[in-house]
Amino acid sequence: MHIIVVGAGVVGVTTAYELQSRGHQVTVLERHSAAGNETSKGNAAQRSYGVVYPWADPSMVLKAIPWLFKKDGPLKMSVPPSMETLRFMFATLRYAWSPGLFGLNKRAMIRLGIHSRERFLALEKELDLPFDGGHQGLLHLASTPETLENYRETQRLLDELGIPSRLLTPEQVREAEPGMIGDGPLYGALSYDTDGTGDCHLFSRELAKACETKGVQFRYNTETEHLVADDRRVTGVTIRKDDGTSETLEADAVVVSAGCWSGHLTRPLGLELPIYPVKGYSFTVPLKDPGRAPVSTIHDDNYKVVSTRLGERLRASGFVELDDFNRDIPEARLATIRKSVESRFPGCADLEAAETWTGFRPMTPDGPAIIGRGPRENLFLNTGHGTFGWTLSAGSASVISQLIDGEAPSVCLDAFRPGRGPGLHLLEDEDHGLPIHWRPGETRLTHPKSLPKLRSNFGRPANILDKESVG
């Protein structure tokens, strides 16, 4: 089967790799001149399999407003905000205030993270790709006693899902990170022992090269104009080449992995994708004193900045900014990131000589990515991963490939399905922990096998449904 993948970020490239390994003929369309040149280029460099969590976090709602007005606050927004920004914010609030939804979505995302780690380890075993990767874990620092207490609750969930983690004292943190000699407040940390690091941009480019050697065709400098479709199927993709001419490519199936730009392909087919470009910043700099640098990845909860060791380089990133597609890089943002690094690892790098970057995370208002079948039987979506594209790429590629091949996905995809919305009731199967979407009046649940012991996310027992009503 000839499958076209739209987008050569880390999600698109890993999808191409999975599909090729299953015997499909794959063509990847990319508007940039190389793979991984958009959101994948300057991200936080962490593969945080145990840290994935929904954007619509009810505990963050009350903190968000003070953050907007705090000089070093991690959340920023353009003034006045655009209609797109306001629409995204209000949708986020609706999801955050839906009882039980955050917990169910978090579990679903973590399960996908676990699967993604398994798939990534298998990929690393098969391909020896140079991308400054490592598996030294991740430390979430606690700058207050309250934060440390919250980590205890997080650890209980991680234990429940079988993810190795440890609560560390300040002394244990400094033993693990001897370069952390700064004066930033420290009450301990939560250690995610199996998390990894790596240069996502370098990985994407190297994996694309490996795919090409196996027969995958990458067409760079190619703009995807629209999908050619009838009422049932997508028959092809119309592209505009770098010389300005158009061409239509035939396809047996299409996977849209175009991040923030995915919606313009699905909208003409009747599917609006609620993906918003959440802006982030980073800089990358050579180490000046490796002994003073992080061993792996450090999440500084004081400034909400992530610092990651990439071989002989340091990557530091932060901020959540709602400013549509504005690519400006204000000095104030970089100053905050520098302040965080200096407060933890002073003297480790020449922070004034850094390569700066800004990019757009394709965020959904509830948090989970959009993974599943689109509005045509041979159209598939693997997009909207927000801040976790690098982390979830291998797992997402695996489950969408399984779906294309008619197999049952290794991870339940109800929380990720295209077309979901606030009008859906979310239920949980107490036996299997599966999230189940159900709209009142529908005659069928996505997972009818999960009927026993359903629990509503609104706190009501779901036995109001009988076997006849769900079929």
pLDDT of amino acid 414: 94
Q: Is the pLDDT of residue 468 over 90?
A: no
pLDDT of amino acid 422: 55
Q: Is the pLDDT of residue 42 over 60?
A: yes
pLDDT of amino acid 92: 94
Place 244 in a pLDDT band, splitting at 50, 70 and 90. confident
Could you tell me the residue ranges of all domains in the chain? 425-470
Instruction: State how far the Cα of 276 lies from the Cα of 78, in Å rounded to an integer.
Output: 14
- Token reading at 321: 């900014």
Instruction: State how far the Cα of 161 lies from the Cα of 114, in Å rounded to an integer.
Output: 9
Burial 158-197 (b: 16+ CB within 10 A, else e): beeeebebeebebeebeebbebbebebebbbbbbbebbbb
**DSSP notation for 324-361:** TT-----HHHHHHHHHHHHHHSTTSB-GGGPEEEEEEE
The CA-based angle 159-399-215, given to 5 degrees, is 130
As a whole number, mean pLDDT of residues 442-470 equals 33
As a whole number, mean pLDDT of residues 73-79 equals 91
Q: Is the pLDDT of residue 461 over 50?
A: no
Place 428 in a pLDDT band, splitting at 50, 70 and 90. very low
pLDDT digits (tens, 9 = 90+) for 372-424: 999 999 999 999 999 999 999 999 999 999 999 999 999 999 999 998 865 44
As a whole number, mean pLDDT of residues 158-173 equals 93
Q: Is the pLDDT of residue 68 over 60?
A: yes
Q: Is the pLDDT of residue 294 over 80?
A: yes
pLDDT of amino acid 426: 43
When computed from its CA atoms, the radius of gyration of the chain, rounded to whole angstroms, is 22
Q: Which residues have CB under 8 Å from 18's CB, separation 6+? A: 397, 398, 400, 401
Place 91 in a pLDDT band, splitting at 50, 70 and 90. very high
Least confident of 105-109, 118-122, 239-243: 239-243
- Token reading at 236: 């092809």
pLDDT of amino acid 122: 95
